[in-house]
A and B are shown apart, each in its own frame.
Chain A
Protein backbone atom coordinates (compact mmCIF):
# COMPACT_ATOMS: atom_id res chain seq x y z
CA UNK A 1 0.00 0.00 0.00
CA UNK A 2 1.18 3.47 -0.86
CA UNK A 3 0.70 6.90 0.55
CA UNK A 4 0.42 9.93 -1.73
CA UNK A 5 2.20 13.13 -0.69
CA UNK A 6 1.12 16.39 -2.33
CA UNK A 7 2.32 19.96 -2.00
CA UNK A 8 0.98 22.85 -4.05
CA UNK A 9 2.42 26.08 -5.40
CA UNK A 10 -0.24 28.55 -6.38
CA UNK A 11 0.39 31.76 -8.28
CA UNK A 12 -2.26 34.35 -7.57
CA UNK A 13 -2.34 37.49 -9.68
CA UNK A 14 -3.04 40.39 -7.34
CA UNK A 15 -5.81 42.71 -8.49
CA UNK A 16 -3.92 45.97 -8.14
CA UNK A 17 -4.43 48.76 -10.65
CA UNK A 18 -0.74 48.95 -11.51
CA UNK A 19 2.20 46.60 -11.91
CA UNK A 20 4.46 45.56 -9.03
CA UNK A 21 7.42 47.80 -9.85
CA UNK A 22 6.08 50.45 -12.24
CA UNK A 23 2.92 52.51 -12.77
CA UNK A 24 1.81 50.71 -15.93
CA UNK A 25 -1.82 49.60 -15.69
CA UNK A 26 -2.37 45.88 -15.15
CA UNK A 27 -4.52 44.50 -17.93
CA UNK A 28 -6.02 41.44 -19.50
CA UNK A 29 -6.60 40.97 -23.24
CA UNK A 30 -5.60 44.48 -24.25
CA UNK A 31 -3.73 45.56 -27.37
CA UNK A 32 -0.23 44.05 -27.32
CA UNK A 33 2.53 45.98 -25.54
CA UNK A 34 0.30 48.95 -24.83
CA UNK A 35 0.87 48.76 -21.07
CA UNK A 36 4.65 48.86 -21.01
CA UNK A 37 7.31 51.34 -19.95
CA UNK A 38 11.09 51.50 -19.57
CA UNK A 39 10.92 49.69 -16.20
CA UNK A 40 8.87 46.65 -17.23
CA UNK A 41 10.73 46.53 -20.54
CA UNK A 42 14.01 46.52 -18.57
CA UNK A 43 15.64 49.43 -20.33
CA UNK A 44 19.04 50.27 -18.88
CA UNK A 45 18.81 52.73 -16.02
CA UNK A 46 15.10 52.25 -15.30
CA UNK A 47 14.60 51.36 -11.65
CA UNK A 48 11.81 49.45 -9.89
CA UNK A 49 9.62 51.16 -7.25
CA UNK A 50 7.44 48.87 -5.14
CA UNK A 51 3.64 49.11 -5.35
CA UNK A 52 2.49 49.66 -1.74
CA UNK A 53 -0.97 48.21 -2.44
CA UNK A 54 0.49 44.91 -3.66
CA UNK A 55 2.44 44.61 -0.40
CA UNK A 56 -0.70 45.31 1.64
CA UNK A 57 -2.68 42.67 -0.26
CA UNK A 58 0.03 40.07 0.40
CA UNK A 59 0.12 41.08 4.07
CA UNK A 60 -3.67 40.84 4.31
CA UNK A 61 -3.45 37.29 2.99
CA UNK A 62 -0.80 36.58 5.62
CA UNK A 63 -3.00 37.76 8.47
CA UNK A 64 -5.97 35.80 7.06
CA UNK A 65 -4.03 32.51 7.19
CA UNK A 66 -2.55 33.09 10.69
CA UNK A 67 0.91 33.57 9.21
CA UNK A 68 3.91 35.55 10.31
CA UNK A 69 4.01 38.79 8.35
CA UNK A 70 7.64 39.82 8.22
CA UNK A 71 8.17 43.48 8.92
CA UNK A 72 11.35 43.26 6.90
CA UNK A 73 11.61 41.10 3.80
CA UNK A 74 13.80 41.14 0.69
CA UNK A 75 13.60 40.94 -3.06
CA UNK A 76 15.90 38.61 -4.96
CA UNK A 77 16.72 38.06 -8.59
CA UNK A 78 16.04 34.73 -10.26
CA UNK A 79 17.98 34.66 -13.52
CA UNK A 80 16.55 32.96 -16.54
CA UNK A 81 16.78 33.70 -20.22
CA UNK A 82 13.57 33.72 -22.19
CA UNK A 83 11.90 36.37 -24.37
CA UNK A 84 8.93 36.78 -22.00
CA UNK A 85 11.27 38.45 -19.50
CA UNK A 86 13.19 41.38 -21.04
CA UNK A 87 15.43 41.79 -17.97
CA UNK A 88 16.46 38.11 -18.17
CA UNK A 89 15.62 37.78 -14.49
CA UNK A 90 12.50 37.72 -12.36
CA UNK A 91 12.28 39.77 -9.19
CA UNK A 92 10.97 37.46 -6.47
CA UNK A 93 11.45 36.74 -2.75
CA UNK A 94 13.52 33.65 -2.07
CA UNK A 95 15.46 34.18 1.15
CA UNK A 96 12.97 36.14 3.24
CA UNK A 97 9.37 36.33 2.01
CA UNK A 98 6.82 38.81 3.30
CA UNK A 99 4.55 35.99 4.55
CA UNK A 100 5.78 32.83 6.31
CA UNK A 101 4.36 29.94 8.37
CA UNK A 102 0.64 30.16 7.73
CA UNK A 103 -2.13 27.59 7.75
CA UNK A 104 -5.42 26.85 6.05
CA UNK A 105 -8.09 24.41 7.24
CA UNK A 106 -9.93 22.21 4.78
CA UNK A 107 -13.26 20.50 5.45
CA UNK A 108 -13.15 16.77 4.84
CA UNK A 109 -16.16 14.74 3.74
CA UNK A 110 -16.39 13.03 7.13
CA UNK A 111 -17.15 16.37 8.77
CA UNK A 112 -13.70 16.95 10.29
CA UNK A 113 -11.18 19.65 9.49
CA UNK A 114 -7.58 19.17 8.42
CA UNK A 115 -4.78 21.69 8.77
CA UNK A 116 -2.63 22.37 5.71
CA UNK A 117 0.55 24.32 6.41
CA UNK A 118 1.54 27.28 4.25
CA UNK A 119 5.32 27.52 4.07
CA UNK A 120 5.36 31.00 2.65
CA UNK A 121 3.70 33.51 0.34
CA UNK A 122 5.96 35.84 -1.56
CA UNK A 123 5.66 38.70 -3.99
CA UNK A 124 7.07 38.43 -7.48
CA UNK A 125 6.71 39.89 -10.95
CA UNK A 126 4.84 37.99 -13.65
CA UNK A 127 6.33 37.39 -17.10
CA UNK A 128 4.97 38.48 -20.49
CA UNK A 129 3.39 36.21 -23.06
CA UNK A 130 4.79 34.56 -26.17
CA UNK A 131 2.67 33.65 -29.14
CA UNK A 132 4.28 31.07 -31.37
CA UNK A 133 3.63 31.70 -35.03
CA UNK A 134 5.44 29.69 -37.69
CA UNK A 135 9.16 30.51 -37.77
CA UNK A 136 8.86 33.32 -35.26
CA UNK A 137 7.54 34.03 -31.79
CA UNK A 138 5.62 37.20 -31.04
CA UNK A 139 6.23 38.80 -27.66
CA UNK A 140 3.56 40.74 -25.74
CA UNK A 141 4.85 42.28 -22.52
CA UNK A 142 1.60 43.73 -21.16
CA UNK A 143 1.63 41.14 -18.37
CA UNK A 144 5.35 41.55 -17.61
CA UNK A 145 5.67 42.99 -14.12
CA UNK A 146 2.09 42.25 -12.98
CA UNK A 147 2.16 41.47 -9.25
CA UNK A 148 1.94 37.81 -8.33
CA UNK A 149 1.76 36.24 -4.93
CA UNK A 150 3.11 32.70 -4.92
CA UNK A 151 1.66 30.62 -2.12
CA UNK A 152 3.70 27.54 -1.25
CA UNK A 153 2.05 24.83 0.84
CA UNK A 154 3.68 22.22 3.04
CA UNK A 155 3.52 18.66 1.62
CA UNK A 156 0.51 18.03 3.87
CA UNK A 157 -2.07 16.69 1.42
CA UNK A 158 -2.58 12.94 1.04
CA UNK A 159 -5.03 12.64 -1.86
CA UNK A 160 -6.27 14.42 -4.96
CA UNK A 161 -9.49 15.35 -3.17
CA UNK A 162 -7.55 16.97 -0.29
CA UNK A 163 -5.51 18.92 -2.83
CA UNK A 164 -8.67 20.12 -4.57
CA UNK A 165 -10.27 21.02 -1.21
CA UNK A 166 -7.17 23.07 -0.33
CA UNK A 167 -7.23 24.82 -3.70
CA UNK A 168 -10.92 25.63 -3.41
CA UNK A 169 -10.41 26.98 0.10
CA UNK A 170 -7.48 29.08 -1.03
CA UNK A 171 -9.49 30.29 -4.01
CA UNK A 172 -12.45 31.36 -1.90
CA UNK A 173 -10.13 32.97 0.66
CA UNK A 174 -8.40 35.23 -1.89
CA UNK A 175 -11.79 36.06 -3.42
CA UNK A 176 -13.24 36.98 -0.01
CA UNK A 177 -10.17 39.11 0.71
CA UNK A 178 -10.62 40.78 -2.68
CA UNK A 179 -6.92 40.52 -3.41
CA UNK A 180 -7.31 38.64 -6.72
CA UNK A 181 -9.93 37.87 -9.36
CA UNK A 182 -8.60 34.30 -9.11
CA UNK A 183 -9.89 33.33 -12.52
CA UNK A 184 -8.29 30.02 -13.48
CA UNK A 185 -9.19 30.26 -17.17
CA UNK A 186 -7.71 33.73 -17.50
CA UNK A 187 -4.63 32.62 -15.58
CA UNK A 188 -5.00 34.81 -12.51
CA UNK A 189 -5.00 31.67 -10.30
CA UNK A 190 -2.39 29.15 -11.51
CA UNK A 191 -1.40 25.95 -9.84
CA UNK A 192 1.68 23.72 -9.89
CA UNK A 193 1.44 20.37 -8.13
CA UNK A 194 4.25 18.43 -6.44
CA UNK A 195 3.45 14.74 -6.17
CA UNK A 196 5.32 11.78 -4.73
CA UNK A 197 4.42 8.38 -3.32
CA UNK A 198 5.94 6.24 -0.59
CA UNK A 199 5.12 2.84 0.88
CA UNK A 200 2.83 3.28 3.90
CA UNK A 201 4.87 3.64 7.06
CA UNK A 202 8.02 4.89 5.32
CA UNK A 203 9.28 8.14 6.80
CA UNK A 204 11.33 9.53 3.92
CA UNK A 205 9.53 11.18 1.07
CA UNK A 206 9.66 9.58 -2.37
CA UNK A 207 10.95 11.36 -5.47
CA UNK A 208 8.96 14.51 -6.10
CA UNK A 209 7.56 15.26 -9.53
CA UNK A 210 6.26 18.72 -10.37
CA UNK A 211 3.26 19.04 -12.69
CA UNK A 212 2.70 22.38 -14.38
CA UNK A 213 0.10 23.85 -16.67
CA UNK A 214 -3.12 22.87 -14.89
CA UNK A 215 -5.97 25.35 -15.26
CA UNK A 216 -9.00 23.83 -13.56
CA UNK A 217 -9.82 22.08 -10.28
CA UNK A 218 -10.99 19.06 -12.27
CA UNK A 219 -7.66 18.75 -14.09
CA UNK A 220 -5.76 19.07 -10.80
CA UNK A 221 -7.51 15.92 -9.60
CA UNK A 222 -7.03 14.09 -12.92
CA UNK A 223 -3.34 15.06 -13.14
CA UNK A 224 -2.64 13.91 -9.58
CA UNK A 225 -4.50 10.62 -10.03
CA UNK A 226 -2.69 9.91 -13.29
CA UNK A 227 0.71 10.76 -11.83
CA UNK A 228 0.16 8.69 -8.66
CA UNK A 229 -0.85 5.70 -10.77
CA UNK A 230 2.24 6.12 -12.97
CA UNK A 231 4.54 6.25 -9.94
CA UNK A 232 2.91 3.26 -8.23
CA UNK A 233 3.14 1.17 -11.40
CA UNK A 234 6.82 2.05 -11.75
CA UNK A 235 7.37 1.04 -8.13
CA UNK A 236 5.59 -2.27 -8.53
CA UNK A 237 7.41 -3.01 -11.77
CA UNK A 238 10.73 -2.40 -10.02
CA UNK A 239 11.67 0.52 -12.26
CA UNK A 240 10.89 3.36 -9.82
CA UNK A 241 14.47 4.67 -9.79
CA UNK A 242 14.62 4.96 -13.57
CA UNK A 243 11.08 6.09 -14.28
CA UNK A 244 10.37 8.48 -11.42
CA UNK A 245 12.98 11.22 -11.39
CA UNK A 246 12.83 14.71 -9.95
CA UNK A 247 11.52 16.62 -12.95
CA UNK A 248 8.84 18.90 -14.28
CA UNK A 249 6.01 17.33 -16.22
CA UNK A 250 3.24 18.99 -18.20
CA UNK A 251 -0.40 18.04 -17.92
CA UNK A 252 -1.76 17.23 -21.39
CA UNK A 253 -5.46 18.05 -21.22
CA UNK A 254 -6.33 16.40 -24.52
CA UNK A 255 -4.70 13.05 -23.81
CA UNK A 256 -5.23 13.04 -20.05
CA UNK A 257 -1.57 12.25 -19.28
CA UNK A 258 1.46 13.98 -17.76
CA UNK A 259 4.40 14.42 -20.12
CA UNK A 260 8.05 14.79 -19.26
CA UNK A 261 9.81 18.05 -20.10
CA UNK A 262 13.08 16.19 -19.66
CA UNK A 263 16.07 17.82 -21.21
CA UNK A 264 14.64 21.29 -21.31
CA UNK A 265 15.42 22.17 -17.74
CA UNK A 266 18.75 20.54 -17.05
CA UNK A 267 20.67 23.73 -17.76
CA UNK A 268 18.59 25.79 -15.37
CA UNK A 269 20.75 27.72 -12.95
CA UNK A 270 18.79 30.56 -11.47
CA UNK A 271 21.77 32.23 -9.76
CA UNK A 272 19.58 33.74 -7.05
CA UNK A 273 21.00 36.82 -5.36
CA UNK A 274 19.56 39.85 -3.51
CA UNK A 275 18.31 42.43 -6.00
CA UNK A 276 20.66 45.40 -5.70
CA UNK A 277 18.03 47.77 -7.15
CA UNK A 278 15.72 47.27 -4.18
CA UNK A 279 16.46 47.93 -0.55
CA UNK A 280 14.74 45.73 2.05
CA UNK A 281 10.94 45.87 2.07
CA UNK A 282 10.08 47.45 5.42
CA UNK A 283 6.39 47.63 6.27
CA UNK A 284 5.10 50.53 8.37
CA UNK A 285 2.61 50.49 11.23
CA UNK A 286 0.03 52.17 9.00
CA UNK A 287 0.42 49.38 6.45
CA UNK A 288 -0.06 46.75 9.16
CA UNK A 289 -3.21 48.46 10.36
CA UNK A 290 -4.54 48.71 6.82
CA UNK A 291 -3.72 45.08 6.01
CA UNK A 292 -5.50 43.84 9.13
CA UNK A 293 -8.79 45.33 7.97
CA UNK A 294 -10.54 42.37 6.45
CA UNK A 295 -14.00 41.07 5.71
CA UNK A 296 -15.62 38.07 7.40
CA UNK A 297 -13.79 35.01 6.04
CA UNK A 298 -15.36 31.67 4.98
CA UNK A 299 -14.61 29.79 8.23
CA UNK A 300 -16.11 32.50 10.42
CA UNK A 301 -19.12 32.80 8.13
CA UNK A 302 -19.80 29.05 8.22
CA UNK A 303 -19.60 29.13 12.01
CA UNK A 304 -21.98 32.09 12.23
CA UNK A 305 -24.49 30.52 9.82
CA UNK A 306 -24.56 27.32 11.85
CA UNK A 307 -24.73 28.95 15.27
CA UNK A 308 -26.84 32.02 14.65
CA UNK A 309 -28.94 31.12 11.63
CA UNK A 310 -29.24 27.44 12.65
CA UNK A 311 -28.64 26.13 9.15
CA UNK A 312 -27.05 22.76 8.44
CA UNK A 313 -23.27 22.57 8.24
CA UNK A 314 -23.33 21.06 4.77
CA UNK A 315 -25.54 23.90 3.51
CA UNK A 316 -23.41 26.54 5.24
CA UNK A 317 -20.29 25.09 3.58
CA UNK A 318 -21.88 25.24 0.13
CA UNK A 319 -23.12 28.82 0.50
CA UNK A 320 -19.89 30.13 2.06
CA UNK A 321 -17.62 28.42 -0.47
CA UNK A 322 -18.35 31.26 -2.84
CA UNK A 323 -18.25 34.92 -1.87
CA UNK A 324 -20.98 35.90 -4.35
CA UNK A 325 -23.26 33.08 -3.21
CA UNK A 326 -22.91 34.16 0.43
CA UNK A 327 -23.60 37.77 -0.55
CA UNK A 328 -26.71 36.67 -2.44
CA UNK A 329 -27.90 34.66 0.55
CA UNK A 330 -27.43 37.61 2.89
CA UNK A 331 -29.36 39.86 0.51
CA UNK A 332 -32.24 37.39 0.67
CA UNK A 333 -32.19 37.55 4.47
CA UNK A 334 -32.13 41.35 4.34
CA UNK A 335 -35.55 41.15 2.66
CA UNK A 336 -36.97 39.31 5.64
CA UNK A 337 -36.72 35.79 4.22
CA UNK A 338 -36.13 33.05 6.80
CA UNK A 339 -32.72 31.37 6.69
CA UNK A 340 -34.12 27.87 6.48
CA UNK A 341 -36.42 28.49 3.50
CA UNK A 342 -33.77 30.67 1.82
CA UNK A 343 -31.20 27.85 1.84
CA UNK A 344 -33.47 25.58 -0.15
CA UNK A 345 -34.68 28.25 -2.54
CA UNK A 346 -31.15 29.45 -3.22
CA UNK A 347 -29.24 26.16 -3.49
CA UNK A 348 -31.94 24.02 -5.12
CA UNK A 349 -34.51 26.17 -6.89
CA UNK A 350 -32.40 29.11 -8.08
CA UNK A 351 -29.05 27.37 -8.65
CA UNK A 352 -30.85 24.56 -10.48
CA UNK A 353 -32.51 27.05 -12.82
CA UNK A 354 -29.29 29.06 -13.29
CA UNK A 355 -27.39 25.90 -14.17
CA UNK A 356 -29.98 24.84 -16.68
CA UNK A 357 -29.95 28.17 -18.48
CA UNK A 358 -26.17 28.64 -18.38
CA UNK A 359 -26.07 31.49 -15.86
CA UNK A 360 -23.94 31.80 -12.74
CA UNK A 361 -24.85 33.49 -9.46
CA UNK A 362 -23.01 36.62 -10.64
CA UNK A 363 -25.21 37.19 -13.69
CA UNK A 364 -28.39 35.71 -12.23
CA UNK A 365 -31.46 37.37 -13.79
CA UNK A 366 -33.13 37.16 -10.37
CA UNK A 367 -31.45 39.28 -7.69
CA UNK A 368 -30.93 38.28 -4.06
CA UNK A 369 -33.42 40.89 -2.97
CA UNK A 370 -36.05 39.62 -5.40
CA UNK A 371 -35.65 35.99 -4.36
CA UNK A 372 -35.68 37.10 -0.73
CA UNK A 373 -38.98 38.85 -1.32
CA UNK A 374 -40.42 35.73 -2.93
CA UNK A 375 -39.23 33.52 -0.08
CA UNK A 376 -40.71 35.84 2.52
CA UNK A 377 -44.08 35.42 0.76
CA UNK A 378 -43.75 31.66 1.23
CA UNK A 379 -42.75 32.17 4.87
CA UNK A 380 -45.83 34.28 5.55
CA UNK A 381 -48.11 31.83 3.79
CA UNK A 382 -49.15 34.34 1.13
CA UNK A 383 -48.24 31.82 -1.56
CA UNK A 384 -47.35 28.13 -1.49
CA UNK A 385 -44.21 26.46 -2.81
CA UNK A 386 -45.82 25.38 -6.05
CA UNK A 387 -46.97 28.92 -6.79
CA UNK A 388 -43.56 30.34 -5.87
CA UNK A 389 -41.90 27.98 -8.36
CA UNK A 390 -44.20 29.25 -11.11
CA UNK A 391 -43.35 32.84 -10.20
CA UNK A 392 -39.61 32.07 -10.15
CA UNK A 393 -39.93 30.60 -13.66
CA UNK A 394 -41.43 33.89 -14.83
CA UNK A 395 -38.78 35.96 -13.01
CA UNK A 396 -36.04 33.98 -14.77
CA UNK A 397 -37.41 35.35 -18.04
CA UNK A 398 -38.24 38.91 -17.02
CA UNK A 399 -38.05 41.13 -13.96
CA UNK A 400 -41.63 41.59 -12.77
CA UNK A 401 -43.33 42.77 -9.61
CA UNK A 402 -44.02 39.76 -7.37
CA UNK A 403 -47.32 41.01 -5.91
CA UNK A 404 -48.57 41.71 -9.40
CA UNK A 405 -47.63 38.19 -10.52
CA UNK A 406 -49.40 36.61 -7.53
CA UNK A 407 -52.48 38.56 -8.48
CA UNK A 408 -52.40 37.96 -12.23
CA UNK A 409 -51.47 34.29 -11.94
CA UNK A 410 -54.13 33.71 -9.29
CA UNK A 411 -51.60 32.28 -6.84
CA UNK A 412 -52.72 34.03 -3.67
CA UNK A 413 -52.92 31.33 -1.06
CA UNK A 414 -55.96 31.06 1.13
CA UNK A 415 -54.80 30.88 4.73
CA UNK A 416 -58.01 32.27 6.11
CA UNK A 417 -59.61 29.54 8.29
CA UNK A 418 -63.16 30.44 7.45
CA UNK A 419 -62.64 30.24 3.68
CA UNK A 420 -60.88 26.90 3.95
CA UNK A 421 -63.45 25.45 6.34
CA UNK A 422 -66.17 26.35 3.87
CA UNK A 423 -64.47 24.22 1.19
CA UNK A 424 -63.78 21.42 3.67
CA UNK A 425 -67.37 21.21 4.81
CA UNK A 426 -68.52 21.14 1.24
CA UNK A 427 -66.16 18.24 0.39
CA UNK A 428 -67.04 16.30 3.53
CA UNK A 429 -70.75 16.54 2.92
CA UNK A 430 -70.28 15.23 -0.62
CA UNK A 431 -68.26 12.24 0.65
CA UNK A 432 -70.19 11.06 3.68
CA UNK A 433 -69.29 7.40 3.00
CA UNK A 434 -65.55 8.13 3.11
CA UNK A 435 -65.98 10.20 6.25
CA UNK A 436 -67.52 7.15 7.94
CA UNK A 437 -64.67 4.94 6.73
CA UNK A 438 -62.12 7.42 8.07
CA UNK A 439 -63.78 7.57 11.44
CA UNK A 440 -63.94 3.77 11.36
CA UNK A 441 -60.13 3.64 11.25
CA UNK A 442 -59.14 4.11 7.61
CA UNK A 443 -57.00 7.15 8.46
CA UNK A 444 -55.08 6.96 5.21
CA UNK A 445 -58.09 8.62 3.60
CA UNK A 446 -56.77 11.96 4.92
CA UNK A 447 -54.72 12.14 1.71
CA UNK A 448 -57.85 11.85 -0.37
CA UNK A 449 -59.58 14.65 1.54
CA UNK A 450 -56.56 16.97 1.33
CA UNK A 451 -56.38 16.31 -2.40
CA UNK A 452 -60.06 17.10 -2.90
CA UNK A 453 -59.87 20.32 -0.90
CA UNK A 454 -56.73 21.48 -2.72
CA UNK A 455 -58.40 20.69 -6.04
CA UNK A 456 -61.55 22.58 -5.07
CA UNK A 457 -59.42 25.60 -4.09
CA UNK A 458 -57.52 25.29 -7.38
CA UNK A 459 -54.28 24.86 -5.46
CA UNK A 460 -54.56 28.14 -3.63
CA UNK A 461 -55.30 26.78 -0.16
CA UNK A 462 -52.43 26.60 2.30
CA UNK A 463 -51.78 22.82 2.52
CA UNK A 464 -50.63 22.90 6.15
CA UNK A 465 -53.78 24.74 7.12
CA UNK A 466 -55.94 22.35 5.11
CA UNK A 467 -54.34 19.39 6.81
CA UNK A 468 -54.75 20.82 10.28
CA UNK A 469 -58.36 21.92 9.82
CA UNK A 470 -59.37 18.64 8.18
CA UNK A 471 -58.06 16.61 11.09
CA UNK A 472 -60.00 18.80 13.50
CA UNK A 473 -63.23 18.44 11.48
CA UNK A 474 -62.83 14.68 11.12
CA UNK A 475 -62.35 14.02 14.83
Chain B
Protein backbone atom coordinates (compact mmCIF):
# COMPACT_ATOMS: atom_id res chain seq x y z
CA UNK B 1 0.00 0.00 0.00
CA UNK B 2 1.30 3.40 -0.90
CA UNK B 3 0.47 6.59 0.91
CA UNK B 4 -0.72 9.22 -1.53
CA UNK B 5 -2.71 12.40 -1.08
CA UNK B 6 -6.01 10.59 -1.24
CA UNK B 7 -5.10 8.11 1.50
CA UNK B 8 -3.73 10.94 3.62
CA UNK B 9 -6.94 12.87 3.18
CA UNK B 10 -8.99 9.87 4.31
CA UNK B 11 -6.71 9.39 7.32
CA UNK B 12 -7.24 13.03 8.26
CA UNK B 13 -10.96 12.46 8.19
CA UNK B 14 -10.85 9.20 10.17
CA UNK B 15 -8.50 10.49 12.84
CA UNK B 16 -10.10 13.92 12.92
CA UNK B 17 -6.62 15.46 12.81
CA UNK B 18 -5.93 18.40 10.53
CA UNK B 19 -2.63 18.07 8.70
CA UNK B 20 -1.09 21.37 7.61
CA UNK B 21 -0.17 21.66 3.91
CA UNK B 22 3.56 22.15 4.58
CA UNK B 23 3.68 19.01 6.75
CA UNK B 24 2.04 16.72 4.22
CA UNK B 25 5.13 15.74 2.27
CA UNK B 26 7.12 14.91 5.38
CA UNK B 27 4.25 12.95 6.90
CA UNK B 28 3.71 10.94 3.73
CA UNK B 29 7.39 9.96 3.79
CA UNK B 30 7.22 8.93 7.46
CA UNK B 31 4.03 6.91 7.03
CA UNK B 32 5.54 5.12 4.03
CA UNK B 33 8.61 4.22 6.11
CA UNK B 34 6.39 2.87 8.89
CA UNK B 35 4.48 0.71 6.44
CA UNK B 36 7.73 -0.61 4.97
CA UNK B 37 8.96 -1.47 8.43
CA UNK B 38 5.79 -3.35 9.30
CA UNK B 39 5.93 -5.03 5.90
CA UNK B 40 8.89 -7.06 7.19
CA UNK B 41 6.33 -9.23 8.96
CA UNK B 42 5.07 -10.45 5.61
CA UNK B 43 8.27 -12.48 5.19
CA UNK B 44 6.83 -14.98 7.65
CA UNK B 45 4.64 -17.70 6.18
CA UNK B 46 1.50 -17.75 8.35
CA UNK B 47 -0.77 -19.61 5.94
CA UNK B 48 -0.86 -22.66 8.22
CA UNK B 49 -1.72 -20.70 11.35
CA UNK B 50 -5.15 -20.00 12.74
CA UNK B 51 -5.91 -16.28 12.92
CA UNK B 52 -6.61 -16.60 16.64
CA UNK B 53 -3.35 -18.45 17.27
CA UNK B 54 -2.08 -17.73 20.73
CA UNK B 55 0.70 -18.92 22.97
CA UNK B 56 -1.87 -19.00 25.76
CA UNK B 57 -3.81 -22.21 26.25
CA UNK B 58 -7.57 -22.40 26.83
CA UNK B 59 -10.45 -20.06 26.27
CA UNK B 60 -11.28 -16.68 27.65
CA UNK B 61 -12.37 -16.75 31.30
CA UNK B 62 -16.06 -16.26 32.00
CA UNK B 63 -18.00 -14.95 34.97
CA UNK B 64 -21.42 -15.69 36.41
CA UNK B 65 -24.29 -13.29 35.71
CA UNK B 66 -24.30 -11.63 39.14
CA UNK B 67 -24.68 -7.84 39.29
CA UNK B 68 -22.19 -5.79 41.24
CA UNK B 69 -22.25 -2.04 41.24
CA UNK B 70 -20.60 0.74 43.13
CA UNK B 71 -22.17 4.12 42.51
CA UNK B 72 -19.14 5.87 43.96
CA UNK B 73 -16.97 4.62 41.08
CA UNK B 74 -19.18 6.15 38.40
CA UNK B 75 -19.43 9.34 40.44
CA UNK B 76 -15.63 9.55 40.68
CA UNK B 77 -15.25 8.96 36.96
CA UNK B 78 -17.90 11.54 36.14
CA UNK B 79 -16.22 14.10 38.38
CA UNK B 80 -13.00 13.66 36.39
CA UNK B 81 -14.68 14.10 33.03
CA UNK B 82 -13.65 17.27 31.17
CA UNK B 83 -17.29 18.33 31.19
CA UNK B 84 -20.29 16.94 33.01
CA UNK B 85 -23.68 18.15 34.14
CA UNK B 86 -26.55 16.45 35.93
CA UNK B 87 -24.58 13.17 35.84
CA UNK B 88 -24.32 13.27 32.04
CA UNK B 89 -21.00 13.40 30.21
CA UNK B 90 -21.17 16.54 28.07
CA UNK B 91 -19.68 16.63 24.58
CA UNK B 92 -19.92 19.13 21.73
CA UNK B 93 -23.09 18.84 19.67
CA UNK B 94 -22.77 15.75 17.48
CA UNK B 95 -25.75 16.14 15.18
CA UNK B 96 -26.37 18.96 12.77
Chain A interface residues (CB < 8 Å from chain B) = 16-18, 23-25, 31-38, 41, 43, 49-55, 72, 74-75, 81-83, 95-96, 130-132, 134-141, 267, 269, 274, 278-283
Contacts and interface: CB of A to CB of B under 8 A. Distances in A.
A35 B90 CA distance: 17
A81 B16 contact: yes
Interface of B: 10, 13-14, 16, 51-52, 54, 56, 58-71, 73-74, 77-78, 85-95
A33 B62 contact: no
A139 B65 contact: no
Given A23-B68, A95-B51, A137 B73 contact: no
Contacts of B91: 83, 130, 136-137, 139
Given A35-B69, A37-B69, A23 B63 contact: yes
Contact of B52 (A50, A51, A274): A274
Identify whether the interface residues of A are mostly helix, strand, loop, or mixed.
loop
A17 B77 contact: no
A378 to B, nearest CB: 46
B93 A33 contact: no
Contacts of B16: 81
A24 B89 contact: no
Contacts of B52: 72, 74, 96, 274, 280
Contact of B93 (A74, A134, A141): A134
Top 10 nearest A-B pairs (CB, nearest first) are A282-B59, A53-B65, A138-B88, A23-B68, A139-B89, A52-B62, A279-B60, A25-B67, A36-B74, A267-B13
Contacts of B92: 135-137
A137 B63 contact: no
Contacts of B56: 279
Nearest to A130: B94
Identify whether the interface residues of B are mostly helix, strand, loop, or mixed.
loop
26 contacts: A16-B65, A23-B69, A24-B67, A25-B67, A25-B69, A33-B78, A33-B89, A34-B74, A35-B74, A41-B74, A49-B61, A50-B61, A51-B65, A52-B62, A52-B63, A54-B65, A131-B88, A136-B92, A138-B90, A139-B88, A139-B89, A269-B14, A274-B51, A280-B60, A281-B59, A283-B59
Given A32-B87, A139-B90, A280 B74 contact: no
Given A131-B88, A135-B93, A281-B60, 20 more contacts: A18-B68, A23-B63, A23-B67, A23-B69, A24-B69, A25-B69, A34-B87, A37-B70, A37-B73, A51-B65, A75-B60, A82-B94, A130-B91, A137-B92, A137-B93, A137-B94, A138-B86, A267-B10, A267-B14, A279-B54
A280 B10 CA distance: 33
Contacts of B58: 279, 282
A37 B74 contact: yes
B19 to A, nearest CB: 15
B1 to A, nearest CB: 13
A17 B89 contact: no
Contacts of B74: 33-37, 41
A417 B62 CA distance: 71
A36 B77 contact: yes
A138 B89 contact: yes
Nearest to A72: B59
A32 B88 contact: yes
Nearest to B16: A81
A25 B71 CA distance: 11
